[in-house]
Amino acid sequence: MNSSGDGIIDTLRVGGDLRWQHPIPTGSATLTAELSAGRDERDNVYTQLYQADYLTLNRKFGVSAQFRRFNQDIQGNTTGGGIHTHGWKGGKTDASIIGELT
């Protein structure tokens, strides 16, 4: 909660993503990476998402795997309002692996 006590969390995120798609004889393969860093109030936040996809040429069959990780430094490791990922304490981490077949 922010200092005014109204229940609204002051959030800042900065990030980027990369995507690589490659045609293969039976379809296409895609690799994706998304990374971001920022803060919620005074807590540093770092997120990662990695994904691999395959889709057949006729687009009738696809498979996907995804790894997601969210790390929040609940210690309030930010000084001066900046974004710092060095010295990460990692107070709260959530991660998951998801697979999908369509």
pLDDT tens-place string over residues 29-54: 999 999 999 998 888 999 999 999 99
> Has residue 62 got a pLDDT over 70?
yes
Q: How many CB atoms lie within 10 A of CB 80?
A: 5
Q: What CA dihedral angle connects 40, 17, 60 and 25, to 10 degrees? A: -160
Residues contacting residue 85 through CB under 8 Å, at least 6 positions apart: 37, 44, 46
Mean pLDDT computed over 63-68: 96
Q: What is the mean pLDDT of the chain?
A: 84
pLDDT at 56: 96
